[in-house]
Structures are given as C-alpha cells and as structure tokens.
Amino acid sequence: MRDSYHRIHGQVSTAEASWKIADEQQFTDIIYEKAVGEGIAKITINRPERRNAFRPLTVKEMIRAFDDARDDTSIGVIILTGKGTQAFCSGGDQALRTKDGYADPNDTGRLNVLDLQVQIRRLPKPVIAMVAGYAVGGGHVLHMVCDLTIAADNAVFGQTGPKVGSFDGGYGSSIMSRLIGPKKAREMWFLARFYSASEAERMGLVNTVVPLDRLEQETVQWCREILRNSPTAIRILKSALNAVDDGHAGLQELAGNATHIFYRTEEGNEGKTAYMERRPPDFSRFPRLP
Ligand code: S0N
C-alpha cells in the first residue's frame, strides 16, 4: 500500500536540510534560519541556560521572525524549537515576572506571549513544534498552539502554573481540552504533573515520538511531505480546522481565504473591472451553480 503510494507520489528525501541564518534583524534571543532551497523556516529559542524560558524580548523576536516567514512566499512550513536537547521551552522567565507581567530590564511588564500564540494560530502556513526536553508552562502552551508536534523520546510535557502562581486560561486551557479531552486537561492543570513523551503520544498531545538523534531529520521529512501538497489546500484546511474553536476570528480567517480565491476568478474580477471602466458590472455569464 505504502509502496504504491510512493510510486505515484515519489519518495520524500531523507537528506539533512542545509540551514542558512536568515537574521537580517540581528536577533539575540532566537536563531532564525531557512533551509536552502526547501521552503522551510526554523525559529529556535536560544536561551538554553534558562531552559529556553522566554522573556518579552524573546517573544518580540519570535513575532518578527514569524512575520518574516509568513511574508516570504518561498516558505511553506515553519519549525519552532529550542536550542539544545534539554528544553523546548520552560515558559515565561520567572526572574522577570512582575505584578504587570514579564518585564525586560527598564521596560513595562507584559504578557506578549499571548500575541505570539494568536499569531501562530492565524498564520496561514503550518507551524511544527520540534520538542526535545522540557515543554512546560508557557512553553507547553506554545507547542499546543502549533499545528503539529514532533517529540524526541526525552521530551517532557506539563503545566506548572498552579505551582508557580500562574495559569493560562486562554488557548492554554481551551486547546488543551480539545486535544486531550476535558478530564485529562483538568488533571494536567490541577495536578501540574509532568508527562513523558510516550504518555503525551497516548494522550494525543503530540503527533509522533522519535529517538532524540532523529528528531530534526523526522521533522524535516514531515515538512517535505507537507510541502509537496497544495499550499492553498493546506492554508484553507488550517483555518477550517481552527474555525469553530476560534469563533468570529476563526470564521474571519476562513472567509478571508474564500475572498483570496474569489479575487483570482473572472467573476470576482468583473466587479472591479467594471468599476474601473465606469460601466455596470455584467455577472450574467457566471453560472448559478446548484
Ligand atoms: C524546566 C525545568 C523542569 C527544568 O529542570 P532542570 O533540568 O532541573 O533545570 P533547572 O536547574 O531547574 O534550570 C536550569 C536553569 O534554568 C533556569 N530556569 C528554568 N526555567 C526557568 C524559567 N521558566 N524562568 C526562569 N529561569 C528558569 C533555572 O532557574 C536554572 O537557572 P540557574 O542555573 O541559574 O539556577 C525547571 O527548570 C522548571 O520547572 N522551570 C520552571 C518552569 C515554570 O514554572 N515556568 C513558568 C510557567 N508559567 C509560564 O510560563 C507563564 C507564561 C505566561 O507568560 C502566561 C501566559 C498566559 C497567561 C498567563 C501567563 C503567566 O504569566 O502566568
């Protein structure tokens, strides 16, 4: 079965990707790379000495990198990961937590990771979390808002909020409940336990678990499989899969895709052309399909 699939669709290369730094913006807290000739961008949280905890600057840089990857029409998939093998991300940097949220030195406190979560959710390209080590606290929420999660066998998942006096009652709760079910989500939040990669796979938190030394190879292979499929189909499916949960914002995203496609049709163009030519539009040649 798989063999005949490959005969028709071709094998996906298992070669290592060759990464090129895409850091025109001179990042300090992240590494931003693109795979040469591949359509894959990779954003790496680069604070391994803090288990890749994010501070406001880290989040601002991630937002800029995701914006770049969105705007770059050669990019079709984005990988989000953490530097090293000990952590994907350990959430907000607790040393910088103030009564107003997280604050960079001499700056105002904020919870800008919430903006990043929304950005990933609405980004019209798949985002894959590539997780080695701890994905905990706000780092766990980040992997959950990604479209897919590929975990190394050393990955550990959990929410720590109730232990350190915080919680994510937004996507951190609702997406989790959708992913693993309401009972298990309550367990994960109320008890604040940690779960192994294989437990996370059984719970439906991650797509697959691979040996640590094959994590990037496997993730890149998933990217390549996605990239050979229709970008428009992928774009619309992402918004469709999110639409119900995201309410009006989800419908707006989905409907925006319909508008995109409509603009490319003769029928859509007729209205604009007629306006520009100062004549009444003639939609009579377009069928009213059943
Ligand atoms: C990740 C853990 C389990 C790793 O344990 P391990 O391997 O034993 O390493 P450690 O020795 O503990 O850590 C190594 C060094 O890294 C520092 N460090 C680790 N995590 C953080 C962190 N989150 N903030 C600051 N520093 C961190 C350690 O201090 C240590 O440093 P040194 O070597 O100098 O001693 C373990 O480290 C762990 O449990 N970490 C804390 C996890 C955690 O509780 N995270 C925060 C959870 N909350 C959020 O993420 C909130 C997110 C948020 O912004 C938000 C969003 C929406 C709504 C609300 C909020 C909100 O603010 O609450």
Split at pLDDT 50, 70, 90, the class of 15 is confident
pLDDT of residue 6: 65
Predicted ipTM > 0.85: yes
The protein residue with its alpha carbon nearest to ligand 1, atom 36, reads 90
More confident residue, 279 or 13: 279
**CA 89 – ligand 1 centroid, Å:** 8
**CA 172 – ligand 1 centroid, Å:** 16
pLDDT of residue 7: 61
- CB of 92 within 6 A of ligand 1: the answer is yes
pLDDT of residue 248: 97
Q: Tokens 């997406």 correspond to what residue? A: 175
**CA 92 – ligand 1 centroid, Å:** 7
Tens digit of pLDDT for each residue in 119-166? 999 999 999 999 999 999 999 999 999 999 999 999 999 999 999 999
pLDDT of residue 182: 98
Average pLDDT of the residues in 272-279: 98
pTM greater than 0.80: yes
Tens digit of pLDDT for each residue in 34-54? 999 999 999 999 999 999 999
Task: Tell me how long the chain is.
Answer: 290
**CA 63 – ligand 1 centroid, Å:** 21
- CB of 94 within 6 A of ligand 1: the answer is yes
Q: Is 55 exposed, middle or buried (0-12, 13-18, 19+ CB in 10 A)?
A: buried
Quote the tokens at residue 232: 């428009």
pLDDT of residue 25: 79
Which residues on neighbouring strands pair with residue 31, listed in sequence order? 44
- Per-residue pLDDT at 253 exceeds 90: yes
CA distance 213 to 228: 25
Tens digit of pLDDT for each residue in 173-216? 999 999 999 999 999 999 999 999 999 999 999 999 999 999 99
Split at pLDDT 50, 70, 90, the class of 2 is low
Contact present, 19 and 3 (Cβ < 8 Å): no
- Per-residue pLDDT at 241 exceeds 60: yes
How many CA atoms lie less than 13 Å away from 272 in the CB half-sphere?
8
Split at pLDDT 50, 70, 90, the class of 3 is low
- Per-residue pLDDT at 9 exceeds 90: no
- CB of 118 within 6 A of ligand 1: the answer is no
CA distance 159 to 81: 18
Give the CA diameter of the chain. 67
- CB of 111 within 6 A of ligand 1: the answer is yes
Tens digit of pLDDT for each residue in 76-111? 999 999 999 999 999 999 999 999 899 988 888 989
- CB of 51 within 6 A of ligand 1: the answer is yes
Q: Which helix (H) or strand (E) holds 271?
A: helix 266-276
